[in-house]
């Protein structure tokens, strides 16, 4: 049985003392705000009451298989995205709840929302409403699309943003199958969440320097497109373009883990010296020395498909461990390829304690990935279990003199 990790007693992260009102759900906003919570911010998560069909609150509460006897509102993805938060249920369609939310907002440094902005205006809890009770508020809105464009206000989910941003065109450029395909991770949501967390801290820094709050828009399509096109704009960086879109070394069917005698390795000689050493180990020293395709960094990149295909013909001649023992002393970048099932037993991840097991009073044992960024002076920590729906409603409202009936 895995050792149970104890919750930290208090926030120690760099955002200790910052108070955030969280009107996000699902993955994008929830992930971005959890990063801030791990880094010390006090986060109050506002959720909807239970509806006529059951459910209620963040929809991620209801997905996945829960342990026998565990509450139905504690789904696995919700558990990984909502630690270090307090949950308050408010029916914002009522005047009492709206008043309670505005009173809460007046005590906060930032409001973060992923609710469609027109909906927030109708509810009377948009930036224009909150700034009246908290003039220096930092209001960060996680939008699907920028408000200046024709898609503004349209619904946005990971699948849609991957489709619209060009992400679904990467695999076709790699393997020649023209069918667009979604990358099988919630990349658009999580990338946008990273942009969101950075935007909050940047706006808070501006407020600290100037006393001025502001409205910040974090649009998923623009964030994910800019993230993707850092390398894939490639030769279209120039005007006129000097070649095609797509970074040629990366859009390459042979860029993959290489098969060994007993598994796979990730392998990437990068510098001229590293490639020369690898060519010698492979027994190609004399041959490659005379091949202009592989003579330097620029020409190797142009012929990466051929080069990477050649690599796998030789990696299969040794076991994974033999390659690690051979290449690591030469500082040639190489790593054992893990399956998802291998991650918890990976010697590095075990040594740094990335996976931790906690004991939730109602759910039982559950696994978390600790905050991965290491602050030497102000360490992030986990100090609250993911909350039950509305668990902290009375507690939080009492702090601002509101009754739970709101």
Once rounded to an integer, what is the mean pLDDT over residues 63-91? 96
pLDDT in tens, 144-203: 999 999 999 999 999 999 999 999 999 999 999 999 999 999 999 999 999 999 999 999
297 and 164 in one domain?
no
At 55 the pLDDT is 82
Q: Say which CATH number the domain at 291 has.
A: 3.30.1540.10
At 388 the pLDDT is 97
182 and 42 in one domain?
yes
Average pLDDT, the chain: 95
Q: What secondary structure does DSSP assign to 95-116, as a single string?
A: HHHHHHHHHHHTT-SEEEE-S-
Last residue of a domain, one of 286, 301, 336: 336
Which helix (H) or strand (E) element contains residue 19? strand 19-23
Q: How many domains does the chain have?
A: 2
Where residue 396 falls among pLDDT bands split at 50, 70, 90?
Answer: very high
332 and 278 in one domain?
yes
Distance CA 91, CA 75 (A): 22
At 42 the pLDDT is 98
299 and 384 in one domain?
no
Distance CA 169, CA 117 (A): 30
406 pLDDT more than 70: no
Instruction: Please answer whether residues 363 and 66 qualify as being in contact, where contact means their C-beta atoms are separated by less than 8 angstroms.
Output: yes
Give me the domain span that covers residue 374. Answer: 19-228+347-399
122 and 214 in one domain?
yes
Once rounded to an integer, what is the mean pLDDT over residues 134-144? 98
354 and 310 in one domain?
no
* In the chain, % of residues over pLDDT 70: 98
- Residues ≥6 apart with Cβ < 8 Å to 47: 25, 56, 57, 58, 87, 88, 89, 90, 389, 390
Once rounded to an integer, what is the mean pLDDT over residues 315-336? 97
367 and 314 in one domain?
no
pLDDT in tens, 43-68: 999 999 987 666 899 999 999 999 99
At 241 the pLDDT is 97
Distances (CA, A) of 304 to 15, 57, 288: 44, 49, 14
In this structure, is residue 4 part of a structural domain? no
Last residue of a domain, one of 311, 336, 361: 336
At 404 the pLDDT is 60
CA dihedral angle for residue 123, residue 129, residue 134, residue 138, rounded to 10 degrees: 80
Q: Say which CATH number the domain at 133 has.
A: 3.40.50.10540
6 half-sphere exposure, CB direction, 13 A CA radius: 3
219 and 74 in one domain?
yes
In this structure, is residue 1 part of a structural domain? no
Once rounded to an integer, what is the mean pLDDT over residues 82-107? 97
286 and 169 in one domain?
no
Reported pTM: 0.95
């Amino acid at each position: 049985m895995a050792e149970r990790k104890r919750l930290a007693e208090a926030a120690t992260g760099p955002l200790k003392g910052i108070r955030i009102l969280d009107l996000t759900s699902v993955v994008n906003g929830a992930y971005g705000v959890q990063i801030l919570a791990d880094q010390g911010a006090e986060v109050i998560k506002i959720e909807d009451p239970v509806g006529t069909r059951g459910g209620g609150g963040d929809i991620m509460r209801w997905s996945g298989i829960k342990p026998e006897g565990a509450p139905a509102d504690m789904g696995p993805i919700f558990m990984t995205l909502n630690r270090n938060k307090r949950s308050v249920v408010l029916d914002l369609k009522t005047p009492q709840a709206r008043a309670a939310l505005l009173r809460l907002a007046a005590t906060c440094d930032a409001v973060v929302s992923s609710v469609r902005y027109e909906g927030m205006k109708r509810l009377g809890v948009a930036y224009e409403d909150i700034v009246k009770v908290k003039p220096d508020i930092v209001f960060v809105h996680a939008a699907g699309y920028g408000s200046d464009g024709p898609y503004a206000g349209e619904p946005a989910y990971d699948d849609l943003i991957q489709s619209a941003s060009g992400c679904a065109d990467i695999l076709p450029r790699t393997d020649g199958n023209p069918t667009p395909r979604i990358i099988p991770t919630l990349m658009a949501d999580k990338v946008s969440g990273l942009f969101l967390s950075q935007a909050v801290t940047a706006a808070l820094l501006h407020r600290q320097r100037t006393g001025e709050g502001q409205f910040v828009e974090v649009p998923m399509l623009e964030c994910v497109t800019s993230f993707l096109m850092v390398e894939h704009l490639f030769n279209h960086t120039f005007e006129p373009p000097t070649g095609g879109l797509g970074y040629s070394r990366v859009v390459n069917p042979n860029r993959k883990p290489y098969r060994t005698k007993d598994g796979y390795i990730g392998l990437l000689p990068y510098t001229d010296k590293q490639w020369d050493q690898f060519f010698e180990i492979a027994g190609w020293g004399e041959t490659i020395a005379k091949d202009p395709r592989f003579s330097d960094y620029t020409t190797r990149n142009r012929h990466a498909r051929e080069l990477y295909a050649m690599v796998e013909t030789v990696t299969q001649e040794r076991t994974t461990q033999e390659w690690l023992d051979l290449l690591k002393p030469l500082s040639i970048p190489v790593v054992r390829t893990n399956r998802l099932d291998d991650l918890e037993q990976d010697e590095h991840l075990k040594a740094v304690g990335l996976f931790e097991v906690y004991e939730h009073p109602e759910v039982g044992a559950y696994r978390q990935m600790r905050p991965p960024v290491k602050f030497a002076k102000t360490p992030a920590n986990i100090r609250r279990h993911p909350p039950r729906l509305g668990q902290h409603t009375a507690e939080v409202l009492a702090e601002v003199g509101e009754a739970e009936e709101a």
